[in-house]
Amino acid sequence: MTASPIRTERHDDILVIISDNPPVNALGAAVRQGIEAAIKDGVADASVAAMVIRCDGRTFFAGADITEFTKPPVSPLLPELVDMIEASTKPVVAAIHGTALGGGCEVTLGCHYRIAVPSAKIGTPEVKLGLLPGAGGTQRLPRVAGVRVALELTAKGDPIPAKKAHEAGLIDRIAGEDSLVADALAFANEIKDIRPIPRASEKTVTADPEAVAAFRKENARRFRGFEAPAANIACIEKAASGATFADGIAFERQQFMRLMMGVQSAAQRHIFFAERQASKIDDVPADTALRPIRRVGVIGAGTMGGGIAMNFLTAGIPVTIVEMQAEALERGTGTIRKNYEATAAKGRMKPEQVDAAMAALTPTLTFDDLAECDLIIEAVYEEMSVKKDIFTRLDAIAKPGAILASNTSYLDIDEIAAVTSRPQDVVGMHFFSPANVMKLLEVVRGAKTAGDVLATVMDVAKKIRKVAVVAGVTYGFIGNRMLMPRQVEATKLLLEGATPEQIDRVHVGFGMPMGPFQMADLAGVDIGWHRDPSRIENIRDALAAENRWGQKTKAGFYDYDEKRTPSNSARVAEIIDQFRAKEGVTPREIGDDEIVARTLYTMVNEGALILEEGKAQRASDIDVVWIYGYGWPVYRGGPMFWAQTEGLKKVVAGLEQYGFPVARSLKEAAATGGQIK
């Protein structure tokens, strides 16, 4: 029989219930059963006056065990356990360190008193999995901490620090950082005889419709398209409506089950697991010895290079950044400092952290200064000849075992590696712009990239807080390769009769932050333009030739006012008409379904081809790329997951209707009712 993760200790008349369930004391069945048994023993034992629940290891209960979500339920369920703790005839104190999240927060709400160390955080992040705290959290939180704090915690899902929780009444006492056990025992002794025992379910909550209305308005953009925030808000409103606790719990249960059985939560849980799976490399053992990365070199101090450098500096890894011109170097390092100071001004960094980050940066005009770096990332112009020249120079000066990486968006890593005498040390590290903000990192594995190089880069990605996905060598890797058919079809649709506004509206309605033409205007219509105004081969050439470069010139596919607010452009409509006339195209009515099929189904098809060619390890990796790199709505789970929910037969039929050759694996999965693999 497996030993229980729960043990108890007696300290005079205080029973301490301790969970030791590494790594995060998840509230799995064995933990719940152990707590239930210990609480029952404490209640039955006349010599016990009060109880303390605490955890060993690095954290208090950090949430439910979400691997149980798809398995048969095991008693006691979390709502039953929380109710049982609250019903105890002897006071129970929660002693919190680390994080009390989700079910962990709900356990503390079932306890009668809460004490926490200053560094602790408490919260209910279930909304990030498309859910709500379903063990009474939506009903107890407003009763303990008020409507506004309950809304913040449940509908946004971000935890709050102990100090803020204490101010809200969610925590009763702040312990010493290193004396939680002693302070919790002292607290238990202090409250053991106080009657009546304070129970969250028995408290009243004051209705605050103005706070609810203001909260909805403030967060309208953040919540757009998501079902779970609205359900969380509705539950808080129910608690504040004067309904009984029992009625509130029944409403919470109904809302929880609706979300749990819905597509959005399935999609968000899929991404939760997909993100963790993406860090695993199929044919590289997990125990592969990693190369030490003590100093990083960055070639290029422009927007990309500066952003890349910031990732490492923020993580405490020294950076040597090299530029050709003193002015460019000075401008680049100045931008890095300015970015850090802006972060500090928002209270997200302390001035001394800014100084420490800048002190770890070594700007230089001397290429040979990269010789001491363990990882060198080239972040220069996307031109193969330039990159080959740099890697030839790097090969001559980099120390043995140094990892040589290219931040390329499209180019062939094998071709770059071939100019060196050490192709096994060469890898792609495709950061997304702005590199210090965007979470995705495509790690491109060349034909000769060594396993320990790949494993080291994936490990480094975690240290700089990136979500890394392994991609094979193919033009555009995973994300940009799938973006290409979308852009091609969007442009064709313009010629055939759609407008930029219509195509963008369909994409935004789908949940994208912006459509293809809004994105082009933001990034710059002139990106990749050949710079010859007399050479006009397509619509983008025509726009670029007229200085319609997007938002930066107040004109692109749209016209822009002083506040960069877009409006439809008569001149763009004219240019499109000219191209139609030139190519003999008669415009026609184009429906939204055709736009979806031609711009989104084609991406799914490209994803299937990428998998067939072995350029992505798994379909879920593709989903991670699109969620973290391109703003695909997380509640749709990424393009490959979405295709399954859309129905693969429907996707295949849509592709065939518009004459696209369908990937073999996509056809097979549609025919057999299987998964795209």
Residues with a catalytic annotation lie at 430
Q: Which of 122, 103, 108, 134 is nearest to 228 (CA)?
A: 134
Nearest in space to 97 (alpha carbons), one of 133, 69, 122: 122
- CA distances to 33, 87, 110, 182, 443 from 75, in Å: 7, 17, 17, 32, 44
Which of these, 450, 452, 406, 424, lies nearest to 292 by C-alpha position? 452
Cis? peptide before 79, omega within 30° of 0 = no
Answer for the pair 419, 392: CB distance below 8 angstroms, yes or no: yes
- DSSP labels, 217-242: HHTHHHHTT-SHHHHHHHHHHHHTTT
Cα within 13 Å of Cα(139), Cβ side: 27
Phi and psi at 662, nearest 5°, equal -95, 135
Distance CA 542, CA 18 (A): 70
Q: Which helix (H) or strand (E) holds 389?
A: helix 384-397
In total, the chain counts a number of residues equal to: 677
**Side-chain half-sphere CA neighbours of 660 within 13 A:** 27
Q: How far apart are CA 352 and CA 509, in angstroms?
A: 44
Cα(143)–Cα(68) distance, integer angstroms: 29
Cβ 421 vs Cβ 394: under 8 Å? no
Residue 290: DSSP 8-state: P
Q: Which two tokens stand for residue 207?
A: 């209705």
CB under 8 Å to 539, separation ≥6 — which residues?
A: 491, 494, 495, 575, 576, 579
The C-alpha angle with vertex 480 and arms to 474 and 484, in degrees rounded to 5, equals: 100
Residue with tokens 């069945």: 29
In angstroms, the CA 283 to CA 278 distance is: 13
Question: DSSP states of 624-643 as a string?
Answer: HHHHHHH---GGGT-HHHHH
DSSP secondary structure letter of residue 474: S
Task: For 175-221, give the secondary structure using H, E and C.
Answer: CCCCCHHHHHHHHHHHHCCCCCCCCHHHCCCCCCHHHHHHHHHHCHH
Cite the beta strand spans of 407-551 per DSSP E: 426-431, 440-445, 467-472
633 vs 486: CA distance, rounded Å: 16
What tokens appear for 654 in the block?
A: 């849509």
**Nearest of 181, 68, 64 to residue 115 by alpha carbon:** 181
Where do we find the tokens 């399935």? Answer: 266
Cis bond before residue 661 (omega within 30° of 0): no
Amino acid at 141: L
Q: Rounded to whole angstroms, how far apart are CA atoms 93 and 543?
A: 67
